[in-house]
């Protein structure tokens, strides 16, 4: 079964908009696990506009499933991931000012850099995933860099799904097949939702994990966190 990792950044965004500690980010992480999520994802950014560095240290001791930290591999980020011994790190090519992730790595252009970063995490026993578009060159570069997994950036699928779902999912089917042939694990994320997740899961083979935040947290405002997580897990059966 494909695992569900819940990205709790939006919980932190809501907390930070008012100050204080409501909603409680740590409590949200604990509840996501309790309600069935098989992982917790966070994406700390340099400006701490949602997840703060202290959140990373506060949450880590309570994660009994999988702790996945996303981010651009600056030296500060690398040291943070190593310090808390995350189970998985997902490398994304975000700039400092970027609102949200909007493209995968050009792994060929950044191959030497990614090799060095992946090697450091592997030395610490941390599984490494590289965020990529459904592009054969990018996937091959991730393999050459020594990554354990890729995370397929799925925004183009989500946008195309409402127009022509078969066409929208086709590049991801081929990308997953190639990654599997190369010995890479396969994660996916960005704009996956209750509207499109089952279709994506049914058509893309070899999925190890999906990371979902924005849509899941938005759904939970109406349905509650427990029921929402159960609905997302049902899509992955």
The active-site residue out of 50, 66, 151, 190 is: 190
Quick check: helix, strand or coil at residue 148?
Answer: coil
Sign of CA dihedral 43, 47, 48, 49: negative
Phi, psi at 68, each rounded to 5°: -115, 120
Q: State the Cα–Cα distance between residues 114 and 144, nearest whole angstrom.
A: 9
Segment (H or E) for 145: helix 136-145
Tokens representing 164 are 């022509």
Taking phi over 0 as left and psi of -120 to 50 as alpha, with beta for the rest, 45 belongs to beta
190 is catalytic: yes
Nearest alpha carbon to residue 31 among 216, 195, 193: 216
Instruction: For residue 203, indicate whether it is catalytic.
Output: no
Widest pairwise Cα distance in the chain:
48
Q: Which of 70, 151, 201, 209 is catalytic?
A: 70
Whether residue 50 contacts residue 70, with contact meaning beta carbons closer than 8 Å, is answered with no
Can you read off the two tokens belonging to residue 69? 């930290």
Does 70 participate in catalysis according to the annotation? yes
Which position among 43, 66, 151, 209 bears the catalytic label? 43
- Count of Cβ atoms closer than 10 Å to residue 24 Cβ: 14
Q: Which three-class secondary structure state does DSSP give residue 140?
A: helix
Catalytic residues: 43, 70, 190
């Amino acid at each position: 079964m494909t695992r569900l990792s819940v990205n709790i950044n939006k919980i932190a965004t809501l907390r930070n908009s008012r100050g204080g500690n409501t909603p409680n980010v740590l409590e949200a992480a604990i509840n996501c696990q309790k309600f069935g999520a098989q992982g917790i994802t966070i994406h700390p950014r340099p400006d701490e506009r949602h997840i703060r560095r202290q959140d990373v240290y506060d949450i880590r001791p309570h994660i009994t499933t999988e702790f996945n930290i996303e981010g651009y591999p600056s030296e500060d980020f690398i040291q943070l991931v190593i310090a808390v011994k995350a189970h998985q790190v997902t490398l994304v090519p975000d700039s400092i000012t970027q609102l949200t992730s909007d493209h995968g790595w050009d792994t060929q252009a950044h191959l030497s850099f990614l090799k060095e970063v992946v090697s450091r995490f592997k030395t610490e026993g941390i599984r490494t995933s590289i965020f990529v578009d459904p592009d054969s060159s990018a996937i091959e570069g991730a393999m050459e860099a020594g990554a354990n997994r890729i995370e397929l950036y799925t925004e183009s699928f989500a946008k195309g799904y409402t127009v022509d779902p078969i066409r929208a999912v086709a590049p991801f089917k081929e990308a997953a097949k190639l990654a599997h042939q190369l010995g890479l694990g396969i994660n996916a994320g960005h704009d996956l939702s209750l509207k499109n997740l089952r279709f994506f899961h049914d058509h893309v083979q070899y999925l190890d994990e999906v990371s979902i935040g924005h849509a899941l947290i938005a759904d939970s405002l109406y349905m509650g966190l427990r029921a929402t997580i159960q609905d997302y897990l049902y899509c992955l059966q």
